[in-house]
Chains A and B, each alone.
Chain A
């Protein structure tokens, strides 16, 4: 089966991808802590963008409240670890399950009542905000005062409890990002993937063909939610502090999907390319604008202005996302479902 997938990707694509992967695997050996933390941020956005993309790109539902699932995963695993000593890997299962169930509920409510497009998006925002305020008042997980995980130094990597050095987290995030990519590829090539494609292109026609669109849309939401929750778990153990206003916030939801949309919704490599563009852009702007501050220009906020304008420019000039354009430039366009 792997041969089948690889056959669909043009040899040049396979080469580029392997090169990129090799560079990323070797990176910790020759970059410093700062660059490492930026790369982790790239993986974070790539992974979450990929997870979000399943719901949007494959099931066609715009969710603006994905921070909900992220937060559920983060808090579930953190609470289980701090209060009961449960390993984060098991916590991931718990968090993922909770997120999937809630995602299914939201999806079901939305789809059953035929709430589409923008209304559905706003429904997702409402659920996320509702949950944020709820967690602000839930003292067992710290409320708005924050929930803290005990941290140890860099001595020793305990992968079972996700305690360890930034390098360990780097590889874990990389593994998850690649894993998500492989999973999406696999699912897209399966029957489920073809149903999703049919639903996305023309839901009514798909229904007419006898496809139970409701069930498959729900499944997309559940998968998307569960994967997002796993990301939340990693984040919780990497940062070791959780505040509802930061975890469930609408800015986080928007950040998650920015990469996927810029890169190209509905494509496999889109979210990854998007993450690789946006994160360095943001950091780059900060670095470039630093000297201005030293010169006495007190322009706090100028970075976000440029950032916003860059995003606008990308939307105006590449409305399908950057990846399809890049793919053409690199002469990688296949005939397949990429």
Chain B
């Protein structure tokens, strides 16, 4: 029976070719594109409940362009995609960008959306550089095209504990009890699991007296804070997002609970909106997060470029790691000399960048595509800005612990 085909356009040819290609066949367009800017699909949630963060990541990507150009890297062209904070849409966004010619993908902040995107990348054979997503299973699937330049939940937790030991050493104050408050969402649960598993082996000087999980959609956290206060713990560890961070802090003020300090192992507390909303009450919170290394020259260049392009916008984890993802893309493109996906993937796997921007031993990937050299910094809020306080070698300011009480700050 004769098959009817639509007229063959470049797009349908590529569609047909990639539908039947085995890994390794190079579609025409990639060979032709040598010398042209690399088309990078940058996919984040820019609408939906994660919109703020997605937009911050996009800014990090855009700030990378002038810096990379100055450094002599080949050009990159950004194609923005929106996951709408939804895994199904993430899949469609990835497919759409690949069809529109994206030769490499960067994304997607949220673990659920990143997982779906990773599958699309692997199935289509297009490299994905994960800027932010901490769920361990993503790099346990045996994927060949997925790379993650961000620590996994267990590494963040070990790092957080490590940073606390540095804290107690540096200030000479050691708490005996700690209480953990965490959001019951993807990240919070992963962290909670990691806390439970890793704590016994960390030799921490304190006891964790309770793990209190709260609904991330909760409008009212008074019960949770009351419970935490009742434990009498001197240290509060939290895993929150921006909105719950604000709610928690407010409740703590209202209920007059003043632990020695809050250590956040996650986002929320260092974000601009948190500090703006709470003013002086938002000071002194410590966040144990992957961050930029203020000593590294590239970090300084990134900050300058970002401040010039987006004056007043905060620079944080989201910025750094998206910036580095662009760096990885440019570096791989330069070494591969071609935009063919297999060549790019091989080049990325061989990445070895020492002059990067994040606090780490550089950028290098193991056979699972994971960068294991990332370190956790402690940053502290000071009047609207988050400054690195630990490790001491990278510190921008001296750490303040225990923090002054609420009444003294109002």
Where the two chains meet, the residues of A that have a C-beta atom closer than 8 Å to any C-beta of B are 26, 28-35, 37-38, 41, 133, 136-137, 139, 143-146, 148, 150-155, 165-167, 239-241, 243, 245-246, 283, 286-287, 293, 300-301, 303-304
Contacts of B19 in A (CB 8 A): 28, 32-33, 167
What 1/0 flags go to B299-322 for Cβ under 8 Å of A?
000000000000000000000000
B14 contacts chain A at the CB level, 8 A cutoff? yes
Contacts of A148 in B (CB 8 A): 115, 137, 141
How many angstroms between the C-alpha atoms of A151 and B91 in the bound complex?
15
In the complex, the number of residue pairs spanning A and B with C-beta atoms less than 8 Å apart equals 112
Among B46, B92, B99, B135, max chain A CB count under 10 A is at: B92
Partner of A34 from B92, B141, B144, B193 at Cβ < 8 Å: B92
How many angstroms between the C-alpha atoms of A137 and B15 in the bound complex?
42
Partner of A241 from B12, B14, B18, B115 at Cβ < 8 Å: B115
Partner of B92 from A144, A167, A283 at Cβ < 8 Å: A283
Contacts of A167 in B (CB 8 A): 19
Q: Closest A residue to B145 by CB, please name it.
A: A153
Contacts of A245 in B (CB 8 A): 185
Partner of A150 from B11, B91, B111, B141 at Cβ < 8 Å: B141
B23 contacts chain A at the CB level, 8 A cutoff? yes
Contacts A33-B99, A144-B184; A301 near B189 (Cβ below 8 A) = no
| Beyond A145-B135, A241-B87, A246-B86, 11 extra complex contacts between A and B, CB < 8 Å | A28-B19, A29-B5, A34-B92, A37-B91, A137-B184, A146-B137, A151-B119, A152-B142, A154-B123, A241-B116, A283-B92
Residues B18 and A243 in contact, CB atoms below 8 Å apart: no
Contacts of A304 in B (CB 8 A): 47
How many angstroms between the C-alpha atoms of A303 and B142 in the bound complex?
36
How many angstroms between the C-alpha atoms of A314 and B86 in the bound complex?
25
Contacts A37-B92, A145-B189; A240 near B5 (Cβ below 8 A) = no
What 1/0 flags go to B1-29 for Cβ under 8 Å of A?
00111100001101110110011000000
Interface of B is mostly: helix
Residues A246 and B87 in contact, CB atoms below 8 Å apart: yes
Q: Closest B residue to A28 by CB, please name it.
A: B19
Partner of A41 from B82, B86, B92 at Cβ < 8 Å: B92
Contacts of B190 in A (CB 8 A): 145
Contacts A239-B116, A240-B115; A146 near B82 (Cβ below 8 A) = no
Contacts of A31 in B (CB 8 A): 12, 15
Nearest 4 Cβ contacts at the A-B interface: A32-B15, A300-B47, A145-B189, A34-B95
Contacts of A26 in B (CB 8 A): 3-4
Contacts of B16 in A (CB 8 A): 29-30, 32
Partner of A143 from B91, B92, B99, B189 at Cβ < 8 Å: B189
Contacts of B124 in A (CB 8 A): 33
B227 contacts chain A at the CB level, 8 A cutoff? no
Q: Closest B residue to A294 by CB, please name it.
A: B80
How many angstroms between the C-alpha atoms of A35 and B15 in the bound complex?
10
What 1/0 flags go to B41-83 for Cβ under 8 Å of A?
0000011000100000000000000000000000000001010
How many angstroms between the C-alpha atoms of A155 and B135 in the bound complex?
26
How many angstroms between the C-alpha atoms of A31 and B142 in the bound complex?
29
Q: Closest A residue to B12 by CB, please name it.
A: A30
Where the two chains meet, the residues of B that have a C-beta atom closer than 8 Å to any C-beta of A are 3-6, 11-12, 14-16, 18-19, 22-23, 46-47, 51, 80, 82, 86-88, 91-92, 95-96, 98-99, 111-112, 115-116, 119, 122-124, 135, 137, 141-144, 184-186, 188-190, 193, 215
Contacts of A139 in B (CB 8 A): 193
How many angstroms between the C-alpha atoms of A166 and B184 in the bound complex?
33
Chosen A-B contacts, 16 in total, with CB atoms closer than 8 Å, are: A26-B3, A32-B12, A32-B15, A32-B19, A33-B95, A33-B124, A34-B95, A37-B92, A41-B92, A143-B189, A144-B184, A144-B188, A150-B141, A151-B119, A153-B23, A154-B23
Partner of B88 from A41, A136, A137 at Cβ < 8 Å: A41
A20 to chain B, nearest CB (A): 15
How many angstroms between the C-alpha atoms of A80 and B142 in the bound complex?
21
Q: Closest B residue to A30 by CB, please name it.
A: B6
Contacts of A241 in B (CB 8 A): 87, 112, 115-116
How many angstroms between the C-alpha atoms of A90 and B47 in the bound complex?
39
Contacts A38-B92, A300-B46; A33 near B98 (Cβ below 8 A) = yes
Contacts A239-B116, A241-B87; A155 near B22 (Cβ below 8 A) = yes
Residues B99 and A146 in contact, CB atoms below 8 Å apart: no
Partner of B141 from A30, A137, A151 at Cβ < 8 Å: A151
How many angstroms between the C-alpha atoms of A133 and B111 in the bound complex?
19
Residues A300 and B51 in contact, CB atoms below 8 Å apart: yes
Among A34, A167, A243, A245, max chain B CB count under 10 A is at: A34
A227 to chain B, nearest CB (A): 20
Residues A34 and B186 in contact, CB atoms below 8 Å apart: no
Contacts A153-B23, A239-B87, A241-B115; A32 near B18 (Cβ below 8 A) = yes
Contacts of A154 in B (CB 8 A): 23, 123
Q: Closest B residue to A33 by CB, please name it.
A: B95
Contacts of B4 in A (CB 8 A): 26
B183 to chain A, nearest CB (A): 9
Contacts A32-B18, A37-B92; A144 near B112 (Cβ below 8 A) = no
Residues A166 and B82 in contact, CB atoms below 8 Å apart: no
B333 to chain A, nearest CB (A): 23
Q: Closest A residue to B5 by CB, please name it.
A: A30
